[in-house]
Amino acid sequence: MCSRINYKTGNNEFITGRGMDWNDPTAATSLWIFPRGLKRDGAIGENPIQWNAKYGSIVTSFYNAATADGMNEKGLVSNVLYLAEAEYGDVSKSNKPTLSIGAWGQYILDNYATVNEVV
């Protein structure tokens, strides 16, 4: 299980820390910088969601495939936390566009500038 903690300073700034409890020595972590305008897809199922990145971002990834954490050019931060007991549903039982959990954080960073836009 991964965890995250936030601290709000007296100057209305936020400090964020996280624990990465993914125990796999082959899961190399990489740092990537992505420009706005990249064409993306949800990377799972027969009908993956597709989008063009509105915002550039800097992210950490694992397995050179999935976004774990990142920040976009507007300052929005995403932390994808792992819980072994989580269930994500069977994509074959839906006709809705699909989005891999490994692409979820990147989708948020690419498409939204604020938390209010996300929720």
Tell me the catalytic residues.
2
Q: In sequence order, what are the residues at sequence separation of 6 or more whose Cβ sits closer than 8 angstroms to the Cβ of residue 71?
A: 57, 58, 59, 77, 78, 109
Tokens 């989580």, residue located: 86
| Helix/strand/coil for 96 | coil
